Amino acid sequence: MLEVKKSVGRYAASYVEDGMVVGLGTGSTAHWFIDEVGRRYQTGELKNILCVSTSEASSQQARELGLPLKNLEDVNAIDLLVDGADETTRQFAGIKGGGGALLHEKITAEYAHKIVWIIDESKLVDQLGKFPLPVEVVQFGSWKLFDRFQERGMNPSFRKDHKDS
Catalytic site residues?
Answer: 105
Q: Burial of 149 by CB count in 10 Å (0-12 exposed, 13-18 middle, 19+ buried)?
A: middle
User: How far are the Cα atoms of 40, 52, 77 from residue 47, in angstroms, in the given order?
Assistant: 9, 16, 19
Give the amino acid at 148.
Answer: R
Q: How many CB atoms lie within 10 A of CB 130?
A: 13
Cα distance between residue 127 and residue 95, in whole Å:
11
